[in-house]
Structure 1
Amino acid sequence: MAGKGAQLIQLDVDTEKGGLTLNPNFLVDFGAEPDGPVLCHEMRFPGGDCTSDIWM
């Protein structure tokens, strides 16, 4: 529901055994922004390049 904003979560990848696990210690709630709920888009890691872009 876009009217309530977006959330960014972290999924940890187990490269040895396979599978994904939700990281319970990481959550960014864009719905709680001071200027109202917002959507996340075109997120980039600091110092990243095109290989680290995340499009949402």
Structure 2
Amino acid sequence: MKHLLKPFVGFLLLFLLYHSAEYMIVFRNSIFGFLSFQLAFFASAYFIAAWQAAAA
């Protein structure tokens, strides 16, 4: 069960960040919010990949 937790947590975090950026640009029309969430998304993707690779 523990081996399924890391991919699920990584996916959930990236899913939330991606859709938060989408919400900011589509519904709030906020460039700053969109770019902030996109930056957080890419930084998180890098660290999640490193975290999951270290566990393998």
TM range, normalised to the smaller chain?
A: under 0.3
TM-score (norm 1): 0.24
TM-score (norm 2): 0.24
- Name the structure where strand makes up a greater proportion of residues: 1
- Name the structure where helix makes up a greater proportion of residues: 2
Q: Which has the higher Rg, Structure 1 or Structure 2?
A: 1
